[in-house]
Amino acid sequence: MSLNPKTAAQTASHIPVLLDPIMDAIAPVSGVWLDGTFGAGGYSRALLDAGAERVLAVDRDPEVFERAERWANQYGARLVMIAGEFGQLDLLAQRENAFLLDGIVLDIGVSSMQIDQAERGFSFMQDGPLDMRMSQSGTSASDIVNSADEKTLADILYQYGEERASRRIAHKIIEERKTSPIINTTRLAAIISSCLPRPKPGQVHPATRSFQALRIAVNDELRQLVDGLCAAERALKPGGVLAVVTFHSLEDRIVKRFFQARSGDGPRGNRFAPDVEIEAPRFMRLTKKAITASPAEMAANPRARSAKLRMARRLNTPAGPVDAAEMGLPNLALDGTF
Ligand SMILES: C[S@@+](CC[C@H](N)C(=O)[O-])C[C@H]1O[C@@H](n2cnc3c(N)ncnc32)[C@H](O)[C@@H]1O
């Protein structure tokens, strides 16, 4: 897909979030790094400018690499752009002959460019097709909204959006789609809004939680996150650093539990469940509490308000299996067919 020049001009570039605390923690930078969420390239450029020998820049959205063409040449072969999912980052790195990485950065979620382009369908503020696919292929939000049964829809809205009116909204969607398929963002936003009280000043738009939920389902974002953390454990060399930035509580809970469990601070046995096996730590946490943006960063970039950064250093212990449910992955059996 080629980038629409009008769209490119209209969408402001993405401001990297929490970049300073990451760069401060990992200085001096050397060796091979993987940026699993390339986006506008803010993290990749900072790593290259700080001295990384090579950066493997992964993104599932093919459009980001077209945008980067304007500046990527200056880094020559040091910047390797890879279309793919960070859930498989160890395999993607191996394909580039990078078997043990010095560091990995993940800045989870959507970019400002994706949200700002109405035709990508992420935003309820602008009318566009109900799409939401980061990779621009596979099941779209419209496929889910028009095909999933009522219970599945309600489960998605509740589990991935923490939407308490999930059943009411799911019921209304089923009624509305009998009239005609729901294929654009503003119609879905109006349907959701009609099920909820009018927001008070300062409250979020009523469609916020449901749109988040659909986006997570369309892109299987939480499964990607668990898979990406496990892949990072396999791909990092002893001493290598993993830095993860998240934007909502479902994501942060997964990262927090992963780092806790893999650094030996997971739940211990008790008299009701005495047989919890204590595994050798695979990581040492560099952040016990998540780092948040400074007031200055929040003022300059409102997206930074909900961002949380957690970092850990890989230890010299073999990687091992992870229980996704223990990491906080909701138990939603979506088979992708809808
Ligand atoms: C928040 S933006 C990253 C911005 C980037 N750090 C920067 O400074 O420009 C997130 C990017 O990650 C990509 N992404 C999200 N989930 C992904 C996944 N599972 N695998 C690969 N890329 C993913 C999105 O397409 C988006 O471009």
86 CA → ligand 1 middle, Å: 9
Query: What is 118-219's CATH number?
Result: 1.10.150.170
81 CA → ligand 1 middle, Å: 13
CATH T-level fold of 5-112+221-314? Rossmann fold (3.40.50)
Confidence of residue 331 (pLDDT cuts 50, 70, 90): confident
331 CA → ligand 1 middle, Å: 24
Q: What would the pLDDT profile of 81-139 be if each residue is shown by its tens digit? A: 999 999 999 999 999 999 999 999 999 999 999 999 999 999 999 999 999 999 999 99
Task: Look up the pTM and report it.
Answer: 0.93
Domain ranges of the chain: 5-112+221-314, 118-219
User: CA–CA separation, 251 vs 257, rounded Å?
Assistant: 10
| Residue whose CA lies nearest to ligand 1 atom number 1 | 111
Q: Is the pLDDT of residue 2 over 60?
A: no
Q: Which atom of ligand 1 is nearest to the CA of 224?
A: 19
Q: Quote the pLDDT of residue 204.
A: 92
Residues with CB under 6 A from ligand 1: 14, 16, 36-37, 39-43, 58-61, 64, 85-87, 107, 109-111, 134, 224
Average pLDDT taken over every residue of the chain: 93
- Long-range CB contact pairs, 321-328, < 8 A, 24+: 322/226, 322/229, 322/230, 322/233, 322/258, 322/261, 322/262, 324/223, 324/226, 326/257, 326/261, 326/266, 327/226, 327/229, 327/254, 327/257, 327/258, 327/261, 328/250, 328/253, 328/254, 328/257
Average pLDDT of the residues in 236-241: 98
